[in-house]
Structure 1
C-alpha cells in the first residue's frame, strides 16, 4: 500500500467564506479526527491531495505546521458535483499496527461463460478489517467461465494475509445475470401503433 506525504496547515477560520478563500488559493479544507482527540481543522494542498486520493484508502503521512507528523486515511471526500474538484475531506487518524475497517474496491477478471450474460457488481467494494499500513488497494476476483445464476460470495474472495472480512461471509458480491431476450421488433410494435389510432 502506498504512503503519500502531504504538508498541511492548521486553520482557524471556518464557514463558507473561509472555505471559498481556501479553494481560490488551491487549498482544500479538511478535518483530522480519531483516537478520542479533538478534531484538527486543516488546509491541504489541492493538487497533491487530488493525486493521493486516486489510490483507494491511501495512507497519508501528514506534516502539520512542521511540528507534528500524523498518519491518516481518507474517510469522506466531498467533490463539486459538476466540476469534480475537491471541496472538503475528512481524515481518520491511524497508528502503525492499528486495525481499521475500510472498503476495498472489487475488480473482476476473466470471461463469463458463452451466452452474452451480464456480470452484476452487488458490492463495488468489500468491507474488510486490515492493518492501517497494509490496506490492499484492490481485491481481484476471477469470474472465468461463470454461467448465469452463479454468484461470488464474500467468503470466496481470497484476502491478503492480515486482512479479514467485515461483512457476513455469505454476502453476495458478484452475480451473473442471464442475458435478456430481445423483444421482437416489427409486428407487435406496429399493432400497438394501430390500436392507438
Structure 2
C-alpha cells in the first residue's frame, strides 16, 4: 500500500464542543499514539482524508506533516463515522516505523462464481494478518469460482502476498457454499407457514 502525504495541525480544544468546532471547520479530529509516546491530538483536512480512505481502504498509511514542524508515519487504526451524514467523527492513528511489522485486519473480497444452484454465505469479511507497515495489502481476494455445495474456505486456504503472515486461527471459516432451496422446497415452506397461521372465526362462529 502506498503512503499518502497529508497535512495536519495540532488541536488545542478537546471534548465534544472542541470536536464539533473542528468538524465545522472542515477538519477531522484525530489522535496519534504508539511507540510509548504521549498521544498527540491533531486535525486532518476532511476532504483529503476521505479521498485517501476511499482509495486505500481502512488501513491507509499516512505520511503526516504537522504545522508545528514535526512529521509522523501512521496507519489508520480506528475510524468513527456519523451513520446518518456518513462523515468522519474521529480517527485513531497508530505511529509506525519503516520495516516495522504490524498486525491489522484486512478485508476479504470474494471473486468468481460458485456452481449453479448454490448459495454463498460470507461468514467473516476480514482476516487478521501481520505485515510490514509500508506493505499492508488493501484487501485479500478469495476465489469461490466453481465451488460446489458443501464446500467451504478457511483462513488457512487464503493465498497471502509475500511478507504477509496469518495471525488468526487458520481453521476460521470465511465462506460456506450450500445448496440453494428448490422451488418445491420454497413452496412447502410457504404452505407450512400458512397452515400455522390461526384462521379468524367468522362472525357467526364467534361466542357472544
* Paired position in structure 2 for 1:76: 78
* Paired position in structure 2 for 1:64: 66
User: Which runs of structure 2 are paired with 1:119-134 in the superposition (5 Å)?
Assistant: 119-134=120-135
Cα distance 1:63–1:85, how it changes in 2: closer, same or farther (>3 A)? same
* Paired position in structure 1 for 2:26: 26
How many residues in Structure 1 have an aligned counterpart in Structure 2?
Answer: 196
User: Which runs of structure 2 are paired with 1:1-197 in the superposition (5 Å)?
Assistant: 1-54=1-54, 55-56=56-57, 57-65=59-67, 67-115=69-117, 117-180=118-181, 181-184=185-188, 191=195, 195-197=199-201
Q: CA RMSD in A?
A: 1.8
Q: TM-score, normalised by structure 1?
A: 0.93
Structure 2: where are the runs of 5+ without partners?
202-208
Alpha-carbon distance in structure 2 between the residues aligned to 1:81 and 1:118: 30
Bigger CA drift: 169-178 or 154-163?
A: 169-178
Cα distance 1:77–1:187, how it changes in 2: closer, same or farther (>3 A)? closer
Where 1:70 maps in the other structure, the secondary structure is strand
Structure 1: where are the runs of 5+ without partners?
none
Where 1:7 maps in the other structure, the secondary structure is strand
Cα distance 1:172–1:193, how it changes in 2: closer, same or farther (>3 A)? closer
- Which runs of at least 4 in structure 1 moved beyond 2 Å after TM superposition? 183-197
Q: TM-score, normalised by structure 2?
A: 0.88
Cα distance 1:125–1:187, how it changes in 2: closer, same or farther (>3 A)? closer
Q: Which has more helix, going by share of residues?
A: 2
Kindly name which structure, 1 or 2, has the bigger radius of gyration based on alpha carbons: 2
